[in-house]
């Protein structure tokens, strides 16, 4: 079986981030969206971004030039777009050397044809559970609907994944599933990840 990439999103605390990156994760996500409980804050903790892991800045309908400035200043290789951004915005960011994860809110009625316009500009898609706020709902969508995705862009599975889901995820057979996005299901408080639960899940996923 292929080894899935691990993305832990919603990092907010420096010491916790240091612990998480010891677990063999591939990506760390930092949320730049003020309404989120996992927003990094107006004055992020010192050292929060001083990581050797691949860093992902998560944005919702943010101005492309604001994103570019933050990514350059903070050393972000990836940006995750979680709002109603259009492919043109995505193309601007990509032309400046950033890699793109485009998130889609999925439920049983989602039309995967909506992803087609992004095929040439996104490096990865992220399929999250449709809710009133972008991301962080803690709820799963029916993973069976992934069978309807016939696109070429690899995707991360997100939305309500918890410590006991590794076995079910390993049974998902989709050729374009490339990784998992872990967030609220592994927290003791918003932005504070439970290290033991993450370790157990990652070990199980990699068995």
Confirm if 112 and 135 have CB atoms less than 8 A apart: no
Measured CA angle at 103 (ends 8, 63), to 5 deg: 100
**What average pLDDT does range 35-42 have in this prediction?**
94
CATH code of the domain containing 127 = 3.20.20.70
DSSP 57-106: EEESS--HHHHHHHHHHHT-SEEEE-SS--HHHHHHHHHTT-EEEEEEEE
Q: What's the domain count of the chain?
A: 1
Which band of pLDDT confidence, cut at 50, 70 and 90, is reported for residue 179? very high
How high is the pLDDT of residue 137? 58
> Taking the CA of residue 105 as centre, how many other CA atoms within 13 Å lie in the half-sphere pointing to its CB?
15
Q: What is the pTM of this model?
A: 0.94
Domain residue limits at 58: 5-206
How high is the pLDDT of residue 207? 86
Confirm if 115 and 127 have CB atoms less than 8 A apart: no
**What average pLDDT does range 152-156 have in this prediction?**
98
């Amino acid at each position: 079986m292929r080894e899935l990439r691990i993305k832990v999103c919603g990092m907010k605390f420096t010491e916790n981030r240091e612990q998480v990156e010891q677990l063999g994760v591939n990506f760390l996500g930092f949320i730049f969206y003020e309404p989120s409980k996992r927003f990094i804050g107006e004055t992020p903790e010192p050292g929060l971004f001083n990581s050797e892991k691949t860093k992902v800045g998560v944005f919702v309908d943010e101005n492309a030039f604001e994103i570019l400035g933050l990514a350059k200043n903070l050393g972000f290789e990836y940006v995750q777009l979680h709002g109603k951004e259009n492919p043109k915005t995505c193309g601007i960011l990509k032309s400046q050397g950033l890699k793109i994860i485009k998130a889609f809110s999925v439920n049983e009625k989602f039309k995967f044809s909506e992803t087609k316009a992004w095929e040439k500009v996104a490096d990865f898609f992220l399929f999250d559970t449709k809710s009133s706020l972008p991301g962080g709902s803690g709820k799963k969508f029916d993973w069976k609907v992934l069978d309807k995705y016939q696109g070429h862009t690899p995707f991360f599975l997100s939305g309500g994944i918890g410590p006991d889901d590794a076995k079910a995820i390993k049974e998902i057979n989709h050729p374009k599933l490339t990784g998992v996005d872990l967030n609220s299901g592994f927290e003791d408080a918003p932005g504070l990840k439970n290290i033991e639960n993450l370790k157990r899940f990652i070990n199980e996923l990699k068995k």
